[in-house]
Amino acid sequence: GVLTSVHDGNIGSIFGIGFPAWTGGALQFIYGMGVDAFERRCAQLAAKHGSGFVLSDTVKAALRQHQPVY
């Protein structure tokens, strides 16, 4: 219940956690590369570096639910 929009997530990731501003924010970066590609990359990183990169089913569902349609 913290984020109410993709925009909030982008702004929060830039100003809150220092995500690179040139990407447009974390969610913009994810949607730019594609949700499927992002999930595959997280799985690769989790296999190599551990559970910190594992995406829960809830996160995967939220990414798909709020994906912008252009």
DSSP string for 11-43: HHHHHHH---GGGTSHHHHHHHH-HHHHHHHHH
Has residue 25 been placed in a domain?
yes
Burial of 57 (0-12, 13-18, 19+ CB in 10 A): exposed
Has residue 46 been placed in a domain?
yes
Q: Show pLDDT as tens, one digit a residue, over the chain (70 residues).
A: 788 899 999 999 999 999 999 999 999 999 999 999 999 999 999 999 999 999 999 999 999 999 988 7
Has residue 26 been placed in a domain?
yes
Has residue 70 been placed in a domain?
no
- Residue 1 is predicted with a pLDDT of 72
Query: What does pTM read for this prediction?
Result: 0.86
Residue 16 structural domain: 6-65
- Residue 43 is predicted with a pLDDT of 98
Name, in order, each residue with C-beta under 8 angstroms of 24's C-beta and a sequence gap of 6 or more.
10, 32
